[in-house]
Amino acid sequence: MSKGTVENMATLSTDLFYDILKRLDGATLASASCACAAFSSMSKEERLWQNVCSSMWPSTKRDDVKNLISQIGGFKKFYADCFPLIVNKNVSEFTWRDYPEYAEELTEAEYYGDFDEFQNVSPSDFVFIVDIRYKDKSICSKVIWGIPNANGFNGWFSNCPFRIDLFSFSDQGDDHTGGVTLSIDDGLPLVTSMERERKDGKLWQELRDEIRLSWIVVNTKAKKAANLSSWSPLGGQRHWPTEKDFLLRFGSILPAEDILPCQMVECILAMKFQVTEASGVQTTLKLTELCMQLGDMEGAHVNGRNSLLVLNEALSCNRSKNYNLALESCHLYSKVQSEIKEEKMRYESRLDKLWILGGITIFVTLFCYFM
C-alpha cells in the first residue's frame, strides 16, 4: 500500500468506516479488525456486533433477548461464544472396554454426582434461543426462559429423562404462535406425489441440504452461552413414522466428566416435518416437532439432574469455527456408539453360548451319573 493511499484512508470519516464495517458478517468483521488501527478501534463498537447477531440469529432482535445479551457481556462476546460449534476431541480413543457399568453398590450420591454442585445449578438459570433457517431465510425463532415444568429439585424433573419440546410451551412475545410451514414459495421443489418422492427423494435431499438449526443455551448466572446444534443436519430418516414424515437430527457431543461414567453424552436435537400437500401445483411442509434430549453411549436418556450439570459444563468446552470438525466429532461418536453396541452384543452372545454349553454339560454329567 502506497503512502498516498494511507494518507487518503486517514482522511476518511468515521461514519464511512462504520458504513463499511456494518455490511460485513461476523467472520469478516473479525478479520477486518486486524487490518488497521481504525478498523480495530471501530470493530469494538457493540452496534456492529448487534447487527451481526441479528442477521445470524433473528431471535436476538427481541428486546428481552437484547437485555439478556447485554447482561452477560454484550453482543461481541455472545457472537464469540455462539458462532463456534462444540467440538469433542476425546471420542476417538473411547472403546467398549472403557465404558464403565453402573455398579450395584453405588450410593445415590455417587450415582448422581456432587449434590452440592447440582444445587448451584438451577433450571431457571437457563435460557434457550432457537432459530431455524431454510435457504438462508429465517422461518422460526423462539426463546424459552428457564426449563419448562422443572418444579424444584425434589420433583419428578430430577430423576426423569430430560426433554424440552419447543412447541409444547407458549412464550409471551413470540411471533411464531402459528404453524411453521415451507412451500414452493420458500424454494421447495415441486413434488407431484408421495409415490414419486419415495423413488427419487428430491424433497428429502433438498430439505437436508438447505435446513439449518441454531440452539443456543445461556446460563444467566454464569453469564456464558454456547451453541448446542451442529448447524446442518447430522442425519435423519425419511418416511418415518409415516410416509409423509421427515425426521432430521442435529446435535453435538458434550463432555460429562465427573458427572456420568460414560464421560461424554450426545445432545440430540430432533426436528420433524410433515408433508401436508404434494400435488402438481403445490408442495407444503409443516414443522410438527423440535425437541432436545441428552443421551449416553448406550442410548439411554440422561435425567434432569445430570442434564443440568452437563449443560453447565458445555458452556466451557472446546469449540471451533471449522464446522467440519464439529460434524466429524458427531459422526465419530455415532460410529463409536455403534461399535460399542456391536461389541457388547458379541460379548453377551458369547456368554449365552457358555451358559448353554455349561447347562448341557451339567445335564449330560447328571444323566450319566444316574444311569
For the ranges 25-29, 269-273, 324-328, the maximum mean pLDDT occurs at: 269-273
C-alpha distances (whole Å) from 371 to each of 355, 358, 366 are: 24, 20, 8
What pLDDT, on a 0 to 100 scale, did the predictor assign at position 117? 52
Give the DSSP letter string of 116-132. HHHHT--GGGEEEEEEE
The residue with greater pLDDT, 32 or 94, is 32
Quick one: what percent of the chain has pLDDT higher than 90? 38
pLDDT of 370 > 70? The answer is yes
The mean pLDDT value for 164-168 works out to: 84
Residue 238 has pLDDT above 90, yes or no: no
The pLDDT score that the predictor gives to residue 8 is: 52
Residue 286 is placed in which grid cell?
A: 409443516
pLDDT of residue 269: 95
Sign of the Cα pseudo-torsion (22, 325, 59, 204, in order): positive
Instruction: Say what the pLDDT of residue 173 is.
Output: 44
Answer whether residue 111 shows pLDDT above 90: no
pLDDT score of 85: 92
Q: Which residue, 56, 55, 53, is CA-closest to 68?
A: 53
* Pairwise CA distance, residues 29 & 52, whole Å: 9
Q: In the predicted model, what is the mean pLDDT of the chain?
A: 82
Please report which confidence band the pLDDT of residue 155 belongs to, taking 50, 70 and 90 as the band edges: low
The answer on pLDDT for 6 being more than 50 is: no
Residue in 178, 194, 177 with CA at minimum distance from that of residue 283: 194
- β-strands 164-165, 235-238 pairing: unpaired
pTM for the model: 0.82
Instruction: Please say if the pLDDT value at position 359 is more than 60.
Output: yes
Q: What is the pLDDT of residues 173-214, one digit of tens each?
A: 444 445 789 988 898 988 888 888 888 889 999 999 999 999
What are the φ and ψ backbone dihedral angles of 277, each rounded to 5 degrees?
-155, 130
Q: In Å, what is the CA distance from 338 to each residue of 13, 156, 235, 332, 335?
A: 60, 31, 15, 10, 5
Query: Which pLDDT value is given to residue 172?
Result: 42
pLDDT-derived band at 348 (thresholds 50, 70, 90) equals confident
CA distance 304 to 161: 6
The region of weakest confidence among 101-115, 138-152, 253-267 is 101-115
Residue 95's pLDDT is 52
* Cβ proximity of 232 and 327 under 8 Å: yes
What's CA 242's distance to the chain center, in Å? 25
Q: What is the mean pLDDT of residues 35-48?
A: 78
What are residue 252's phi and psi, to 5 degrees? -160, 165
Q: How far apart are CA 261 and CA 342, in angstroms?
A: 20
Cα distance between residue 158 and residue 150, in whole Å:
8
User: How much is the pLDDT for 152?
Assistant: 55
Q: Give the tens place of pLDDT for each residue, 295-337.
A: 988 888 999 889 999 999 999 988 988 888 888 888 888 888 7
With cut-offs at 50, 70 and 90, classify the pLDDT of residue 77.
very high
